[in-house]
A and B are shown apart, each in its own frame.
Chain A
Amino acid sequence: MATVTATEITKKFGDVSAIDGVSLSVADGEFLVLLGPSGCGKTTFLRIIAGLEKQTAGDIAIDGMVVNDLPPRARGIAMMFQTYGLYPHYTVRDNIAFPLKTQRVPKDEIRTKVAWASALLGIEHLLDRRPRQLSGGERQRVALARALVREPTALLLDEPLSNLDAKLRSSARNEIKQFQQRVGTTTIYVTHDQVEAMGMGDRIAVIDHGRVRQIGTPASIYDDPADRFVATFVGTPPMNLIDWNGGHLGFRPEDFLPREMIENGEVTEFSFFIERSEYLGSERIVYGRLEGRSAAQEITAKLPPAHVPLAAIRPGEWHPFAVRNDALRYFDQSGVRRRQS
């Protein structure tokens, strides 16, 4: 277990900048999530930390020691790949044992550790199978067991759940999180799924075009987005944005409520034209536009269904809506957050 620090990491593929000056540091035992859209450089960054790719500039340090020139096997880092990268010609047992064999761990110690790792992930009954005889969820566990068996200094996970179906994904999410808390390994978890990021990360680093846009706890990312990108990337439906004094004014759909639902506090009122609404069981999403604004700028409101005076919210009609002033977020022309308008 260790700290991992990246300082001003840059990676160029020819003229293309995949990573553009990323600095961040992961504390011992921390679970850091790298969140960003596809192609923003997340995989490249993990590969640089693991030593599979050499950065164009910048330093990687593990426990304060710069490891730029160390090969992957000297870094003691484990990585779990997006397609898992299991060895198809080995049994599950040999797959898990492989990282130990490369370190010339004695045979009986290998046996004990493989037993420990497979028990931890509940895959003891699969040890004699080959990867092709496993389901997606089982493969994911085997890959995780293989990554953990040698108790790595840090664990890198590259979109580990993206190959699982939705139901399996939510249970696997819990498992990985619990499991990481139990073992306490420093973990960097890459995903493009903001639900995963919000649910799992001690901290989230939001990345776009090879740059860190914001690092912080899930709550701070959600409530205090540093810029327009973070504000619209995190949250479903995304934050509403309207043109405002040359910049933008933003508010979350769940803060945009019928005027009569907000009882006290200072509010900003809008006249809202309701176009359609979707009932999702636990909530109702209402789509429409604001008076005096372009029809192209769709605004959404997320309402708790039980409390809505449904009679009043009818498609094709205007209704007074409002946002509490403390829920308003201002962004200037360049998209950077401003504390006031």
Chain B
Amino acid sequence: MVALAERLQARRSRFEFVFDRPRVLGTLFLAPAIIYVLALVGVPFLLAVYYSLSAYTVYNPSYHFVGLQNFIDVINSGVFRRTLANTFIFTFGSQILGLILGKFGALLLLRPFPGRKIVRALIILPWVVPIALATVAWEWMFDSLYSVINWTLIALGIVTRTDAPNWLVDPGLAMLSVIVVNAWRFFPFAIVIFLAGITAIPQDVIDAATVDGAGFWRRNYQIILPMIMPIVVVGLVFGLVFTFTDLSIVYLLTNGGPVNATSVLGFEGFQVGIISGDVAHGAAISLFMLPVLFILVIVMLRFIRRQEI
């Protein structure tokens, strides 16, 4: 015994088990993430705050401090208020549509049918196709002359050639179009989320509900949906944050038009700050996302905590 203890003592150097200490190893593993966040999120964010409080433009790069003047200008602008409203319509519209499509897609994909594996693989496509490519395809589908959508509607006798909808020109329809494209891009993600949630429910719970007399709708809305709510909310937070900050679809499909009818925050900030060179006002516009996203995330996370089962 004594000999053994001495041998262990002799071998033990101060640093021999340094990686067994949670603090050392934890710090080491967290460091890349923290450095990444600080460098690529923290610095640009502080820079944006700084610009938004200055009178900085590309043509007159002065760091002259103007206080909250930029924010006041922005709020007083009709275009901005329109943009803010658009952003909410665009975000919630496409998320709700995406969730509905996702729920039904997941239900269909849960049933066994021939070729299910191929369909499951294909359904991911909207998500992996580069958004620029997909949007060009959609632009063609919405095109006033060559629109396949209109062509189909006319062929089915639902509309006539003369009053066929002008998708990207009519303000309301243009908003609907960007919502549809974004929902189309988002719904595979929603399907994956729903499938993950539903397959994690123990079969005994679903069978119990069936034996207890629940039909299809009751099973879905009183048992399955509440049980997968936490994971759906997490997916929804991601979708909302990404959509709220997104500008690619609007930029590619409508360029904010017609007459700002589809302009959203990310797009407007980019237009004002980068294209027009008014960096200070562009930064102020973009910073309006922050409180909205912050409240959104807090509300959702609190909801999850309450729902926790």
Q: Which residues of A contact B (CB under 8 A)?
A: 47, 50-52, 72-73, 77-79, 81-89, 98-99, 102-103, 130, 132, 146
Contact = CB atoms under 8 A, between A and B. Distances in A.
A40 B208 CA distance: 22
A72 B208 CA distance: 10
Nearest to B214: A102
A81 B208 contact: yes
Given A73-B215, A130-B309, A132-B309, A87 B202 contact: no
Interface in B192-236: 202, 204-215, 218, 223, 226-227
A157 B209 CA distance: 15
Given A72-B211, A73-B214, A85 B204 contact: yes
Given A52-B207, A52-B210, A81-B204, A87 B215 contact: no
Nearest to B203: A85
B227 A79 contact: no
Contacts of B206: 85
Contacts of B202: 83, 85
Contacts of A98: 209, 212, 214
A50 B213 contact: no
Nearest to A88: B309
Contacts of B227: 87-89
B211 A78 contact: yes
A130 B306 CA distance: 13
Contacts of A103: 213
Nearest to B208: A85
B47 to A, nearest CB: 45
A160 to B, nearest CB: 12
Contacts of A81: 204, 207-208
Contact of B213 (A85, A87, A99): A99
A79 B208 contact: yes
B307 interface: yes
Contacts of A130: 309
Interface secondary structure of A, over-half rule: loop
Given A102-B214, A102-B218, A88 B205 contact: yes
Nearest to B202: A83
B208 A102 contact: no
Contact of A77 (B205, B211, B214, B223): B211
A47 B202 CA distance: 16
A85 B205 contact: yes
A91 to B, nearest CB: 11
Given A72-B213, A146-B212, 17 more contacts: A50-B211, A52-B210, A73-B214, A73-B215, A78-B212, A81-B208, A82-B204, A84-B208, A85-B204, A85-B207, A85-B208, A86-B208, A89-B307, A102-B218, A103-B213, A130-B309, A132-B309
Contacts of B210: 52, 72-73
Interface residues of B, number: 19
A72 to B, nearest CB: 5
A98 B222 CA distance: 10
A73 B208 CA distance: 11
Nearest to B206: A85
Nearest to A75: B211
A113 to B, nearest CB: 14
Contacts of B204: 81-85
A248 to B, nearest CB: 41
Interface in B167-198: none
Nearest to B229: A89
Contacts of B207: 47, 52, 79, 81, 85
A103 B218 CA distance: 12
A181 to B, nearest CB: 23
A340 to B, nearest CB: 48
Contact of B209 (A84, A87, A88): A87
A85 B214 CA distance: 14
A52 to B, nearest CB: 5
A88 B205 CA distance: 9
A52 B223 CA distance: 17
B174 to A, nearest CB: 41
Nearest to A73: B213
A325 B62 CA distance: 113
A86 B205 contact: yes
B267 to A, nearest CB: 40
Most buried by B among A47, A73, A77, A130: A73
22 contacts: A52-B210, A72-B210, A72-B213, A73-B210, A73-B212, A78-B212, A79-B207, A79-B211, A81-B204, A82-B204, A83-B202, A83-B204, A84-B208, A87-B223, A87-B227, A98-B209, A98-B212, A102-B212, A102-B214, A103-B213, A132-B309, A146-B208
B211 A89 contact: no
Contacts of B211: 50-52, 72-73, 77-79
Contacts of B214: 73, 98, 102
